[in-house]
Chains A and B, each alone.
Chain A
C-alpha cells in the first residue's frame, strides 16, 4: 500500500437527513431480504412445496367428505396466506433478536437513522419477498386443484390485501421489540403461536365455523379478517360463508393498522431507552 493509495479525502461527504434519510434506510434495509431470495433458492422447496403439501391434505379431505367446491378455493387462498404468517413470525418478530446476536443492532441504534425506518425496511422487504412465495402457492394450487375465481371488485380486493399486510407487518414490527425484551423465551412463544393461529385464523376453513367470540378474538391477528374478506371478494359463495361484512372487516383492519403501527413505535422507543439504560439489549454476551 503506497502513500498515494492511502488518500481518501475528496472533500466532505454529503449526507442527507430527515425524510430522505428515512426513505434511504427503508430501502437499504429491505434490500437484503429481496436479494436474499434471489441468492437462496431453497425457499422454492421449503416455502412453496411444503405448504402445498398441507394444502393438498386439506383438499383431499374436503373432496373425500364431499364438501362444497368453494372450500377448495378457500384452502388454496389460506395456504398462500400462511407464507405471510410464517414470515412475520420467524423473520419479522424474531429479527431484532437475531440482529442483536449478529452485532447489527448496536450499529442500527448508533446510526443517525430512525429505528422505525429499519423495521419498516425489514417489513417491506419481507412483504415483497413473501408475496412472490404466496403467489407461487396460489398459482400452483389453483392449477392443480382447478380453482375458479370470480373477483367482485379488484379495488376492494387490493385494499383488503394491503390493509391486512400493513396491519400484519405492523404486528410483526411490534412483536420484534417484544421478542427482544423477552429474549430466548420469545422463541417458545413463537413456536406456541404458529399452529394455533393456523386454526383460529381459519387458514384452511371459513372462520364463521368457529363461534362468534372465538372468531372475534382471533381477529386480533390481521390475517383472520383479511383472509375472510378476500374470500368473500373472490368466490361467489364467499359472502354467505363470511364472518362479518367486507366493509366492517375493512374498518377493523384500518383500526388494527393504526394500533399496531403506533404500538410498534412505542415499543421500539421503549426498547431503545431500556437498551441504553441497562446496557444489555444490544449486548449479546451480557
Chain B
C-alpha cells in the first residue's frame, strides 16, 4: 500500500520547567499514535484544543522529533531524512502571522515560493491564479499589514498551496474566517485533493462540521491518544442503534443530573446551562428509555421546553468516546492550565 503518511507508535513528551531550580514536569502530548494515510486522501484529525493535533503535525513536518516511535511522510523517515521530506510538504496554521507587514501580498508569497525553488515567473503566475481562487485577486499589491485577519489567513492558505506540495498539512485552516470564506476555502481544499490522486492533505480541526463535510477519513484524538479512525459515516454508524435526543428544559434548580445519568439505558448525558434553563443531550441505548427520562424530569418539577431527536453527528461520536463534549473538554483543560 502506498501511504503518504504513516506513524508507528509515535509519542511525544514535553519537559516543562516552572523555574530554573525546579525539576522538569513531564507533559505527555502524544501517546502511541498509529495512523496510515493513503495518497489522495483528505484525512482529518478531530479533537479539542490540547488534544495533540498540532504536536503530531509538527512531528510530521520535521519541526519536532518524536520521543518514541517512527513516522514517515512521502515514504521518508521524518526524523532521519528531513531533507527529503521538506521539498514534498507544506503547512498552513490557522491564525499564523507569517511574512512581513511591509511587503505586499504578492511579495510575501513570492518570497516564500523562492524558499522552495520555484521559478519567479511561474511563482507570480500561480500567486495571481490562487489569489483569484480565494477571492483576493484585487489585493495583490496590498501591504499584508493592511489585511484583515480573514484576508491574512487566506494569504497563508495560498502560501501553502503555492508550492504544490505532495503532502499538505493544514492546522485549523479556517480559524478566523467568516462563514462564507470558510466555505470557499473548504471547497477549494476538497477540489485540490480531487484533482490529483498524488496529493494528500492532513487537516486538523475542532469544527465537527468541517471534518464531516471535508474528510475522507477522520481520526478522533483526545489527550494524545487516537480514540477512533474511520470514515465520518462509519464513525456515525457506530451510534446508529442509539437514540440521540436533545432536550431544552426549565432551570434545574438543584435537580441532580446524576439522577438522569443513573437511569438504565442512558449511555451518555451532556448538560449545558442556557438562557432560561438547561440543554440536555442524551445518547440512549434505545428510544423507549426516553420515557424514563421524561418521567424523572417531571417528578423533579422540570418542564420540558423543547425535545428533538437527532441523527448522530461526529460530536455525538466524540461524546460517546470521551464521555463529554468537546467544549467541556476544552473548558476543563483551560481551567487546569490556569
Contact = CB atoms under 8 A, between A and B. Distances in A.
Nearest to B161: A8
B96 interface: yes
Contact of B102 (A29, A39, A102): A39
Interface string A237-278: 000000000000000000000000000000000000001111
A15 B117 CA distance: 5
B65 A286 contact: no
B122 A276 contact: no
A123 to B, nearest CB: 16
B90 to A, nearest CB: 8
B93 A36 contact: no
A5 B115 contact: no
A275 to B, nearest CB: 8
Contacts of B119: 14, 16
A192 interface: no
A243 B89 CA distance: 54
Interface in B222-237: none
Q: Which of A24, A25, A104 has its CB near the most chain B CB atoms (within 10 A)?
A: A24
B163 A13 contact: yes
A112 B83 contact: yes
B115 A108 contact: yes
Nearest to A30: B111
Contacts of B12: 279
B29 to A, nearest CB: 9
A17 B87 contact: yes
Contacts of B41: none
Given A40-B102, A107-B98, A279 B116 contact: no
A282 B65 contact: no
Contact of A25 (B114, B126, B133): B114
Interface residues of B, number: 54
A155 to B, nearest CB: 34
Contact of B118 (A15, A276, A277): A15
Interface string A216-245: 000000000000000000000000000000
Contact of A102 (B89, B90, B98, B192): B98
Q: Which of B12, B16, B63, B122 has the most CB of A within 10 A?
A: B63
Contacts of A31: 103, 107, 111
B58 A279 contact: yes
B255 interface: no
B65 A277 contact: yes
Contacts of B118: 13-15
A6 B87 contact: no
Contacts of A87: none
B276 to A, nearest CB: 38
Given A1-B184, A5-B132, A112 B116 contact: yes
Which bucket holds chain A's interface residue count? 35 or more
A110 to B, nearest CB: 5
A12 B116 CA distance: 14
Interface string A1-32: 10101111100111111001100110111011
The prevalent SS among residues of A at the interface is: helix
A36 B64 contact: no
A181 to B, nearest CB: 15
B21 to A, nearest CB: 16
Given A102-B97, A110-B63, A13 B133 contact: no
A64 B72 CA distance: 73
Contacts of B63: 106, 109-110, 275-276, 279, 282
| Majority-rule SS of B interface residues | mixed
A113 interface: yes
A28 B115 contact: yes
Interface in B55-109: 55, 58, 61-65, 83, 86-87, 89-91, 93, 96-100, 102-103, 107
A106 B171 CA distance: 14
B188 to A, nearest CB: 6
Interface string B112-132: 101111110010001001101
Contacts of B275: none
Contacts of B90: 110
B133 A8 contact: yes
A262 B117 CA distance: 25
Interface string B269-308: 0000000000000000000000000000000000000000
Contact of B111 (A3, A32, A40, A109): A32
A196 interface: no
B42 to A, nearest CB: 15
A128 interface: no
Interface string A104-130: 101111111100001000000000000
Contact of A279 (B14, B96, B115): B14
A31 B191 CA distance: 34
Given A109-B63, A110-B63, 6 more contacts: A7-B195, A13-B122, A13-B164, A103-B93, A104-B99, A279-B14
16 contacts: A1-B134, A6-B188, A8-B129, A8-B195, A13-B126, A15-B118, A15-B163, A20-B117, A21-B117, A24-B114, A28-B115, A39-B143, A108-B115, A110-B89, A276-B64, A279-B55
Interface of B: 12, 14-16, 55, 58, 61-65, 83, 86-87, 89-91, 93, 96-100, 102-103, 107, 110-112, 114-119, 122, 126, 129-130, 132-135, 143, 161, 163-164, 184, 187-188, 191-192, 195-196
